Chain A
Amino acid sequence: MSSDPALDIPRRKVTVRQLRERRRVLRSIGAGIGLVGASLLGFFPVVKQWMSRLRPPGAIEEAKFLAACIKCGQCVQVCPVEAIKLGDLDEGFSVGVPYIDAREQACDFSCDAVQCVLACPTGALSHNTDKKEQVRMGIARLSRPNACLARLGKGFKGPARGESHDGLHRYMEVDRWTPIRIADHPYDLEMCDLCMRECPIEGAITIERDTFELGKKSGTPIVFDKCVGCGMCEMICPVIPPAIVVDIRKTWENV
């Protein structure tokens, strides 16, 4: 057979070994991209702010907070009312980052000395905070004034959140040192003033009387600039859903 040497293109032979090696490298690249991609999915919940979370006392500005938090949970361990929980998978980069679900269990400062701040090894909970009055978690707001029992002039009888609620609170008059279940501390109030009554910060909430008519009692909870946003009022409010809530990370400067 005739053969033209010009058409004889030298073909590089690929050995099985080379082929296997090539696959191994491609597989590694694929796995690497997959892993980094999976980790970057954590961007969405954070950047789009799918979840706005109340952070523990002393938390620095949110983006910095997420950077500084080492996700160890030491703050969780020292909280006497177990108010602090850790973020889960659906919170993206906030996996393992502490938050407080105030309605379930608010921080009522029953540790007296912001233990979570002292426990934080990185200063994500700023060590500049050493008194509960200095804390800035948010600001309470009467979100449903028409549902507020005080405004309706109603009293309240029984446990604030029902028998089954597991929330804890320290009642100074019951036990100075140990928080007890709210369910074990029923009330009998002529006019509901629970938000003011259980607020751990003096002068943060007062109830202004609406009427001075004889035999009638009604009032409006007013939040003052001493409010630190701990969420105790949100937890104790007997109305469902609560009439008073904490606006997370709101400060008095940007009201």
Chain B
Amino acid sequence: MSFVSSIFEMLGREPANKPDDSAYSEDALAIHESKRDIKGKKERTAAIRAERDLARSHKWRNWRWASIVMVNGLFVLSFALDVQLIEGSMSASRVVGFHFADLNAALQVTLAFKEILINLVIGTVTVLILWWLLGGRTFCSWACPYHLLAEFGEFLHLRLAAGKLVRDMPMHRGLRTVLYIVFALLALGTGYTVFEAISPVGIVSRALIYGPGFALIWVAGLLLFEIFVTRRAWCRYMCPIGLTYGFVGITSPVHVKYELENCLHEGDCRKVCLVPHALEVTKKGYAKKVEVALGPDCTRCGLCVDICPTKSLTFDVKGLNKLL
């Protein structure tokens, strides 16, 4: 049930309200009960958070930034030095000769062109398997070049918001699902890959590899919108690529695992998260089980893992524990 509802939540449905006691597993109920009557909870939480802040870890963020820079850097260097290691750009490439195709770009092309292209199928299957193994939306936070720019924009937005200079204007998450369908229908109906004309992912990737163009103005406009109006507007509410990879991640073995036991429910994770609805389970009384895997909209960026003061959020690979 929660599996299906997590998909609907990815598509835009508001997360469910706090469950009632009958929904908890026995262990979870015991933990929820025990948390009710701890004395000095506030002081304890404050102390634990203060300790975390003494040595803030940015381990996963740093690895992730290194990954984005490396992936895109390899494209750039490969062409600049003509070593033919990774040819092409984010939308399609050959990696040491093997076809890779971005799933969303391949989908747009197939809908517009209305022919099954064998190379594209090969590239799509390769990429599908790769990102399924790695976690679906892992693509967003570990490879997408726009994600890095958007994180910088988000940093500025939060600074401005802290100074009360801007206020986040949130949108309905269902917008992304609507746009996904609209762009699919546009490709199908017009025979043009309409979305590719405005995709900041393709534009930034090509600009890095082949040199900048006026299309970057559009990307700059998007970033300004994210800085001054809506926090992470593109990645949160609009990008169909994110949804495509979200579908891939539904059954992916790699995910962030939430453990109820030590959680302080202070909500630091939800504040840093790109998709806070995926962390709804961390609210007090929301976890039905003692261990919960976050839903497919989670980009596995690790910001919550870094910030969690009690290590209640960790990266986990399904089935690996059984093997070890």
Q: Please report the C-alpha to C-alpha distance between residue A31 and residue B218 in the assembled complex, in whole angstroms.
A: 15
Task: A114 to B17: give the CA distance in the assembly, Å.
Answer: 61
Interface residues on A, range: 35 or more
Interface residue total, chain B, C-beta cutoff 8 A = 58
Whether B206 contacts A39 by the Cβ 8 Å rule is no
Contact between B171 and A73, CB atoms less than 8 A apart: no
Write the chain A residue with the least CB distance to B112: A67
Q: Given contacts A36-B182, A71-B206, A73-B88, is CB(A31)–CB(B175) below 8 Å?
A: yes
What residue of chain A has the Cβ atom nearest to residue B94's Cβ? Answer: A74
Contact of A122 among B92, B183, B194, B237 (CB under 8 A): B92
Main SS of the interface on chain A?
helix
Task: Flag if B88 contacts A89 (CB, 8 Å).
Answer: no
The A-B contact count (CB < 8 A) is 158
Residue from A63, A68, A92 within 8 A of B109 (CB atoms): A68
**Known contacts A39-B183, A71-B206: A46-B89 contact under CB 8 Å:** no
Tell me if B233 and A72 are in contact (CB < 8 A): no
The residues of B that contact A179 with a CB separation of less than 8 Å are none
A89–B217 CB distance below 8 A: yes
Q: For B209, what are the chain A residues with a Cβ–Cβ distance below 8 Å?
A: 73
Binds A, one of B117-125, B132-140, B283-291, B298-306: B117-125
Of the residues A27, A68, A70, contact of B101 by C-beta under 8 Å? A70
Q: Are A95 and B196 in contact, with the CB atoms below 8 A?
A: yes
B10 in the interface (beta carbon within 8 A): no
Contact with B along A24-46 (1 / 0, CB 8 A): 11011101100110111011001
Task: Please give the distance in Å from B85's CB to the nearest CB on chain A.
Answer: 11
Asked if residues A78 and B175 are in contact (CB atoms below 8 Å), the reply is no
Contacts of A68 in B (CB 8 A): 109, 112-113, 115, 117
Please pick, from A46, A67, A86, the residue contacting B113 in the complex, using a CB distance under 8 A: A67
Q: Complex Cα distance A171/B169, Å?
A: 61
> Which residues of A does B touch, CB under 8 Å?
24-25, 27-29, 31-32, 35-36, 38-40, 42-43, 46, 63-64, 66-74, 76-78, 86, 88-90, 92-93, 95-96, 119, 121-123
Q: What are 22 A-to-B residue pairs whose CB atoms are below 8 Å?
A: A27-B171, A28-B174, A28-B175, A31-B233, A39-B186, A39-B198, A40-B186, A63-B191, A66-B192, A67-B113, A68-B117, A69-B193, A70-B91, A70-B105, A71-B105, A71-B196, A72-B93, A73-B89, A74-B88, A77-B84, A121-B120, A122-B109
